[in-house]
Chain A
Amino acid sequence: MKLSVSNLNSHYGPAHILFDIGLEVGEGEVVALLGRNGAGKSTTFRSIVGLVALREGQILFEGKDISTAPTHEIVRSGLGYVPEERRIFTDLTVEENLEVGRQKPRPGAPQWTREKLYKLFPNLGEMKNRPGGRMSGGEQQMLTIARTLMGNPSLVLLDEPSEGLSPKIVEQMVDAILTMKKEGVSLVVSEQNLHFAKLISDRAYIIERGRICFAGTMAELDARPDIRDAHLSI
């Protein structure tokens, strides 16, 4: 197992957000985490990378327990995180944004360089010196993924990559995710868009009100329209 989460509970202040979350990601697998707005997708990701202070449970990454490690150590061990809000450094240029994400190459994980990433996202290569604040939403989404890949992760948590993007950019995003998979990066992709998820993922989890309520392959999910209608808005 690449990543194995069990009995994860998280709190924001006095509010209990996640209840006994369990999920697993195999080597080279793309797993979708589906759910409506506010279901707990982002909190799950934030808990895994240690950005939620109040978390309990076991999180194993490549067999190592990371449930109490600080964020930077988790990320340095090869677990990349792309936040939903993109969080581009708006004052920094594209090149500088990539530089912040750069980490040493890691054995057993695919290696990324600026040149390779500019090939994956050609738009970025054309605006190397543009400040992040003067880019379109789609360009920012590409930059935030590229920035995380600069850390040469073996697993990436990708939070709602298709949100707010035009259909054409979404297509590019699908290509990029499939390329990452082909290179050997495992992925967990959170999504509200079932159609998008089907194009990229092997398996899916559905999360509702902080609890996992379905786990299975995409084919199994297709066979259960009742679950789809109950937990996902289409």
Chain B
Amino acid sequence: MAFYFVQFLTGLASAASLFLVASGLSIIFGVTRIVNFAHGAFYMLGAYVAFSLTERLSGPLGFWGGIVVAALAVAVIGVLVEIVLLRRIYHAPELFQLLGTFGLTLMVEDLVVLIWGPDDLVGRRAPGFKGAVDFFGQNIPSYDLFLIALGPIVLGALWLLFQRTRWGILVRAATQDRDMVAALGVNQKWLFTSVFAVGVFLAALGGALQIPRDAVHHAMDLRIIVEVFVVVVIGGLGSILGAFVAAVLVSELNAFGILIFPTISLILVFLVMAVVLVVRPWGLFGRKEAPARRTPGLTVIPWRPLSSVERLASLVALAFAAMLPFVAGNYALTVGSEIAIFVIFAASLHFLMAVGGLASFGHAAYFGLGAYGVAFLAKMAGLPMIACLLLGPLLGAAGAAVFGAFAVQLSGVYFAMLTLAFAQIVWSIAFQWVAVTGGDNGILGLWPEKWAASPSHFYWLALGVSAFVVSVLRLITFSPFGYALRGMRDSPLRSESIGINGKRIQWTAFIIAGTTAGIGGALFAYLKGSVFPDNMGISLSVDALVMVLLGGVETVPGAIFGAIVYKALNIWLVSQTDWSKLVLGIFIVLIVVVFPKGIVGVVESIMHRRRAVAPKAAALSAKMEGAQ
């Protein structure tokens, strides 16, 4: 009994940091409507800066002072980020904001390695809380008791801040109606900046307080951000009390999940989240959101099927691509195969997010499931390659059917956060369930059969499948199903009022996208000869997002060009620098701020403007873009 009680207290202690970070995220979202992906990075920075400060400063004052100063210093960094980056993207579609702050996260991950090195750092113990308290023969670290007390204290302090100060009242007013607050003479800019500073302070404090408990390392940002997303989805985005209750709930589920399902403990959290979403899609303490802004929010040039000339041009381009084996060596062919596979992957995400308006942040899950599907079939069932390639993607389809059923109940940022959490759960199953998946070691020795073994044959296979998949997705886009899907994207209410079963259409689209991603993953498994948990990791999901955005989210062929350019650039970059995340992060931020229409989008609007009906209309649309 005592053991379970101690386990319960450990859960409560973990909840404190989680609550700090989640409440910061919630406060920032409430006012600015930005889901700050970089919140995990600020948490991590808080831990690193606190580590350095507490190493240098001595005594209890040095320690506690160091913790607070670290959180303040990171808050100042947050203010700079807000002024330099976020102010430029407040009016961008939410996907761009999520992606821009993700680019920031990538930069921070490399920067902390540059500054503090790649090794885990073990911080000082907290003065006054070094020992443990004995509880019926079980030890409870006294620092845990301190954290348990801290959670409710911070909750109370935040409550006072928001109920009793003018700043708090303005923030609550702005959470409901920002424009009206401005129309009463409040400078939104500085209100946003101060809110962001408070949110970042809380995240950094959460990180700084972890140093006596856990080692500081450069991957702690992603771990916490996934948990925080789960917390705010359960508790309700924008609710501080919700963040507290959900943080306790998730931490307890983690603490006891380890006892019940030691290998797949995240399943329990997932189940609870699923139940909450079914009963209250906006979270336990959240409020039903007004319909989210459409994901593509810039000027859309109407889509049309290819003309016969364009169709011919595509065939010629494909024929040229098919000639590659006659001129290029094996390395170039392997790169070519990889690019063809990523065209499939990007096209499947593009279908979901541009045609369906559902921006998934965890699309790699289905890519990876396809790869693992192939690995299971080939290694355990010993099926031939053709059968594996045909059946393997079905694992991606199955995953998409299960997760999609929950995810399409939501939209906008909630959808993005949920898909990310699902992907992370799939990843952790692959990572933790060593008996079946081989864990971190993956499943090796997965080579294509003789007919596809040579680089040129495999390249033709990948190219052929890629062309086939892209054509099918295009056909679907311009089919009645595609029209219904786009109708749901543009106006859910109107679509449903003319008899379209919206959720069912979106669910079907999710499964189509998951299956095609699985096809890409299946080919990828054979290309690499192995599968690893990273095949379904966050960074792969984000790669796909960047490809789609780089190509142009509002164009039909954008994903193809985005995948080719990005993948080629990425392969080249990794061979050139050790700091590819830093460069990639800067690249993503630049796309979001300077280049939000992508390559194809820019080309199309230039061509469109040339054909423009009247010069006056073009001038007006240029002005509108300027105003946005």
Name A residues whose Cβ lies closer than 8 Å to a Cβ of B: 11, 13-14, 49, 51, 53-54, 70-72, 75-76, 81, 83, 87, 89-92, 96-97, 99-103, 147-148, 151
Contact = CB atoms under 8 A, between A and B. Distances in A.
20 contacts: A11-B620, A14-B617, A14-B624, A51-B179, A53-B627, A53-B628, A54-B623, A72-B185, A72-B186, A75-B184, A76-B185, A83-B183, A87-B177, A90-B176, A91-B175, A92-B176, A96-B172, A99-B169, A102-B166, A151-B185
B185 A14 contact: no
A53 B628 CA distance: 9
B183 A100 contact: no
B183 A99 contact: no
Given A11-B620, A87-B180, 15 more contacts: A11-B624, A14-B617, A14-B624, A49-B183, A51-B183, A71-B179, A71-B183, A72-B185, A72-B188, A75-B185, A92-B169, A96-B169, A96-B172, A99-B169, A100-B170
Contacts of B628: 53
Interface string B175-201: 111011111111110000000000000
Nearest to B186: A72
B378 to A, nearest CB: 54
A91 B183 contact: no
B184 A92 contact: no
Given A51-B179, A87-B177, A147 B184 contact: yes
A197 B180 CA distance: 26
A151 B627 contact: no
Interface string B131-175: 000000000000000000000000000000000001001101101
A92 B169 CA distance: 8
Contact of B172 (A49, A83, A91, A148): A91
Interface in B332-377: none
Contact of B186 (A13, A49, A90, A100): A100
A72 B187 contact: yes
B621 interface: yes
Contacts of A151: 184-185
Given A90-B176, A100-B173, A13 B183 contact: no
A71 B627 contact: no
Contacts of B185: 72, 75-76, 101, 103, 151
Contacts, number: 68
B187 A91 contact: no
Contacts of B186: 72, 100
B173 A71 contact: no
A131 to B, nearest CB: 11
A101 B181 CA distance: 8
A105 B176 CA distance: 26
Contacts of B170: 100
Contacts of A89: 172-173, 176-177, 180
B467 to A, nearest CB: 38
A103 B169 CA distance: 14
Nearest to A77: B185
Contacts of B620: 11, 14
Contacts of B172: 89, 91-92, 96
B169 A91 contact: no
Contact of B627 (A54, A70, A90, A97): A54
Contacts of B617: 14
B297 to A, nearest CB: 12
Contacts of A100: 169-170, 173, 181, 184, 186
Most buried by A among B172, B185, B186, B620: B185
A47 B181 CA distance: 16
A148 B181 CA distance: 11
B169 A71 contact: no
Contacts of A101: 184-185
A73 to B, nearest CB: 8
Most buried by A among B184, B187, B621: B184
Instruction: Report, nearest first, the 10 A-B pairs whose CB atoms are least far apart.
Output: A75-B185, A76-B185, A87-B180, A71-B182, A100-B173, A89-B173, A53-B627, A101-B184, A72-B187, A72-B182
Contacts of A103: 185
Contact of B180 (A13, A83, A102): A83
Contact of B173 (A72, A83, A92, A148): A92
Contacts of A71: 179, 182-183
A107 B63 CA distance: 51
Interface in B609-628: 617, 620-621, 623-624, 627-628
A96 B621 CA distance: 41
A13 B625 CA distance: 10
Contacts of A70: 182
Contacts of B180: 83, 87, 89
B403 to A, nearest CB: 34
Contacts of A97: 173
Nearest to B623: A54
A90 B176 CA distance: 8
A15 B179 CA distance: 21
B174 to A, nearest CB: 9
Nearest to A100: B173
Interface string B270-306: 0000000000000000000000000000000000000
A45 B36 CA distance: 35
B183 A81 contact: yes
A91 B177 CA distance: 11
Nearest to B179: A51
